[in-house]
Amino acid sequence: RAGTYILAVETSCDETSVAIVRDGRDVLVNLVASQIETHKAFGGVVPEVASRQHVECITRLMEQAIAESGLEPDELSAIAVTEGPGLVGALLVGIMAAKALAFALDKPLIGTHHIAGHIYANRLTDEIQYPAIALVVSGGHTEIVRMESEGRFEVVGQTRDDAVGEAYDKVARSLGFPYPGGPHVDRAAQASDTAAALPRVWLEEGSYDFSLSGLKSAVLNLVNQSRMKGEEIDQGAIARGFQESVVEVLVAKAVRAAHQFGAKQLLLCGGVAANGGLRRELTARCEAEGIPLAIPPMRYCTDNAAMIGAAAYVKWTRGELSDLFIKGEPGMSL
Ligand code: KG4
Ligand code: ZN
């Protein structure tokens, strides 16, 4: 069968995922085993528990992916795996499984960057127009990435403390929502007519960096004040105030970066790209300012292996293969 078939593995956090992608574009199969239900009881991801769950399902998912694709194992062109960043124990499970398969089938291995995966999730739908600016917002990352051309990344701004998704989850917890609370805060925000007054954190003039911890503390203070006065917490108003503050700063910085670097396209990616308020504001601003915007379908926004297959394909076309000695890189840079 013609084409490049990459089997990709993603185990950097709490999703075990295996995909097979043709030519970095067509997703033959994308299996995702989420551990959310397990971690809910702890109110967040417990690294050791995550690693064990990856161990329990990775082999089965690899077998199932190959079976569902209808390919013979030998028809695979390469095996790709998330090398970092992420939880080291979790990463290692995927890396060991991918190495073993690559060795057994005598196929090349392609170690892939998780954030490159989130960005190239956009490639699964359409060509990316360069130069591009990517706004990456997830549970672990908040970054503005400049891409002059395919395969070139320059981080021009990032969070100095909490990631956006992390701040959402912490705010959600203080408002009494279950883990992961991002979607709950999003829904409460969109349903509320009133918004609590909360600060916008812009940092130094011209900076593309973000800081979420002050805003998060402001929310916690509001919640505690209400508690001390014996008042009921206005979940909706706090959620909406928080969301408006986050979205205003994210949108303003991403749009400014797109203008400054002459981007032909703005890419929104990562789990928080599912946020209704962010999608709506960014879409409206990009339309008003004539910036083409791309957002991957929801299933490719949250962690998945298809996006790793898309990113690995770019490395494949550039001949950037890995050896069997790669190890997990928890703090890997783009
Ligand atoms: O990309 P992702 O699946 O995992 C990481 O690589 O971190 O992102 C998960 C994060 C969680 O923090 C979750 O609360 C957040 O994305 N999230 C949302 C929404 N949906 C998911 N945050 C705000 N609004 C949403 N609708
Ligand atoms: Zn992610």
137 labeled part of a ligand binding site:
yes
Identify which of 119, 168, 245, 246 to mutate to test ligand 1's pocket (most ligand atoms within 8 A of the CB).
168
Measured by CA distance, the residue closest to atom 3 of ligand 1 is 302
Q: Cα–Cα distance between 94 and 92 in angstroms, integer?
A: 5
179 vs 187: which has the higher pLDDT: 187
| Residues flanking ligand 1, CB < 6 Å | 13, 138-140, 165, 168-169, 180, 182-183, 186, 270-272, 274-275, 302-303
Residue 23's region, left for phi above 0, alpha for psi from -120 to 50, else beta, is left
| Residues, CB-to-ion distance under 5 Å, ligand 2 | 138, 303
**Domains assigned to the chain:** 5-119+301-317 (3.30.420.40), 129-295 (3.30.420.40)
Give the pLDDT score at 264. Answer: 98
Give the pLDDT score at 44. Answer: 83
Record the pTM.
Answer: 0.95
Give the pLDDT score at 40. Answer: 83
Q: Which ligand is nearest to the CA of 15?
A: 1
- State the closest ligand 1 atom to the C-alpha of 180, by its place in the atom list counted from 1: 14
Measured by CA distance, the residue closest to atom 4 of ligand 1 is 139
pLDDT in tens, 6-28: 999 999 988 999 999 999 999 99
Helix ranges, the chain (H): 36-40, 47-69, 88-105, 114-120, 164-174, 182-191, 213-228, 235-260, 276-289, 306-317
pLDDT in tens, 199-237: 999 999 999 999 999 999 999 999 999 989 999 899 999
Mean pLDDT for 119-141 is 96
Q: What is the mean pLDDT of the chain?
A: 96
pLDDT in tens, 256-309: 999 999 999 999 999 999 999 999 999 999 999 999 999 999 999 999 999 999
DSSP tag of 205: T
Mean pLDDT for 53-73 is 96
pLDDT above 90 (res 80): yes
Residue 162, CB-side half-sphere exposure with 13 Å CA sphere: 16
Give the pLDDT score at 36. Answer: 83
- HEC sequence for 305-333: CHHHHHHHHHHHHCCCCECCCCCCCCCCC
- Cβ-in-10-Å burial (0-12, 13-18, 19+) of 191 comes to exposed
